[in-house]
Amino acid sequence: MKLSSIEFRAMQSPWRRWGQRTVELPLFRSLGLDVRDKDVLEIGCGSGYGAFLLNRLGPRSYLGLDLMPEQIERARQKYPGYRFEVGDATDLSGLDDASFDVVIIFGVLHHIPAWRTALNEIARLLRPGGSLFLEEPRGVDLRLFEALFRWGHPQSDFGLRAMEAHLGGLGLIIFRRLWTPLLTMYHIRKG
């Protein structure tokens, strides 16, 4: 689902970039993120700062997808050397099965009411032995945050327990998990 205008503005802030650069990416790396010479897909890439961080690590290829054309337009303007496309995580039929080594998500599934369908698509796109790195808030924190700040997150049954149960049915194995006060971070592997 598209972001509300308040969240859209927050996602463009220097604080968001600071968090991605100094906290989230290093934590993903501590969980085993290694994109060197890998084919990488970022889902919900926003205005492209994740692309900037990931491309510095030497992937073989990088594709950033986001539902919002205005995010992709910004990403293309800021980082013209990287590949960005408008795309919906719940329908990635334009991408071949087993075409990525690494899929990465910086806080996006809780924006997708049909998040299970997005995970099904990711399972299809990953190569055997490939890795999914994702970070998401707990459902309870999401509801509290929404009550306090009203960012307009979609109505959804998203929660970490439900997500973990769904992953199991897709043959995606939780390899490492790290709780932080805002987000829980995962390294998930396709067996």
Ligand X SMILES: C[S@@+](CC[C@H](N)C(=O)[O-])C[C@H]1O[C@@H](n2cnc3c(N)ncnc32)[C@H](O)[C@@H]1O
Contact residues: ligand X, CB under 6 A? 1-3, 11, 16, 20, 43-46, 50, 65-68, 71, 88-90, 106-108, 111-112
Is 120 in a helix, a strand, or coil? helix
Q: At its nearest, how many Å lie between ligand X and the CB of residue 43?
A: 6
Cα dihedral angle (111, 107, 10, 139), rounded to 10 degrees?
Answer: 60
Quick one: 128 or 131, whose CB is closer to ligand X? 131
Amino acid at 37: D
The answer to whether the Cα torsion of 29, 189, 100, 17 is positive or negative is: negative
Q: Which long-range contacts (CB under 8 A, 24 or more apart) does 171-174 make?
A: 171/123, 172/119, 172/122, 172/123, 172/126, 172/132
Quick one: 86 or 173, whose CB is closer to ligand X? 86
Is 87 in a helix, a strand, or coil? coil
The structure tokens listed for 184 are 């829980």
Quick one: 70 or 191, whose CB is closer to ligand X? 70
Q: At its nearest, how many Å lie between ligand X and the CB of residue 10?
A: 8
Quick one: 92 or 167, whose CB is closer to ligand X? 92
Non-local CB neighbours of 25 within 8 Å, separated by 6+ positions: 33, 53
Q: At its nearest, how many Å lie between ligand X and the CB of residue 191?
A: 25
- d(CA 127, CA 178) in angstroms, rounded, equals 24
Quick one: 41 or 112, whose CB is closer to ligand X? 112
Q: At its nearest, how many Å lie between ligand X and the CB of residue 147?
A: 18
Q: At its nearest, how many Å lie between ligand X and the CB of residue 81?
A: 19
